[in-house]
């Protein structure tokens, strides 16, 4: 598993009403926005499911952190691809 970067962890202060971190949304190509929103909502649902299943909050944070980092890598590739042509 790759290490995650804390600076990209979504924080409550940096989110908009729909739950998307502002630093993700700014500069995102419009066509990527719906899929990013969907993924972020799925991360929230996963956190809730893990919480309901009794997993410790520090573990949940670690899992989500890893998933965010993983997604971010692909997202950055997608943004770069938009600039390729």
Partner 1 sequence: MTFISTPKTDDEIARLAALKRYQILDTASEAEFDDITSLVKTVLNVPIAAVSLIDSDRQWFKSILGVDVAETPRSVAFCDHTIRDSCTLQVDDATQDPRFMNNPFVTGPPGLRCYLGVPLQTPDGYNVGALCVMGPEPRVFSDNDSKVLQSFAKLVVSQMELRLISSKDSLTGTLTRAAFERHLRAALAKPEGTQMALILADIDFFKAINDRFGHQAGDAALRVVSATMLANLRRNDVVGRYGGEEFAILLNGISAKDALAFAERLRVLISEAGIPEIHPEKMTISMGLAPQAANLTAAGDWLERADKALYQAKSAGRNRVVMFGDHTEAVE
How far apart are the C-alpha atoms of 10 and 4, rounded to whole Å? 12
Measure CA 62 to chain center: 13
Residues 61-80 that bind partner 1 (CB under 8 A): 63, 66-67, 70-71, 73-75, 77-78, 80
- Binding map of partner 1 across residues 3-42, x = CB under 8 A, - = no contact: --------------------------x-xx--xx-xx--x
Options 54, 56, 57, 61; binder of partner 1; rule CB under 8 A: 54
Query: Per DSSP, what are the bridge partners of residue 21?
Result: 15
Options 11, 45, 58, 61; binder of partner 1; rule CB under 8 A: 45
How far apart are the C-alpha atoms of 80 and 75, rounded to whole Å? 9
């Amino acid at each position: 598993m790759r290490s995650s970067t804390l600076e990209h962890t979504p924080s409550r202060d940096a989110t908009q009403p729909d739950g998307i971190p502002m630093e993700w949304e700014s500069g995102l190509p419009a066509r990527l926005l719906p899929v990013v929103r969907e993924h972020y909502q799925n991360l929230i649902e996963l956190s809730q499911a893990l919480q309901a299943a009794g997993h410790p909050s520090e573990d949940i944070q670690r899992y989500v952190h890893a998933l965010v980092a993983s997604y971010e890598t692909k997202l950055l590739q997608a943004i770069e691809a938009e600039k390729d042509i």
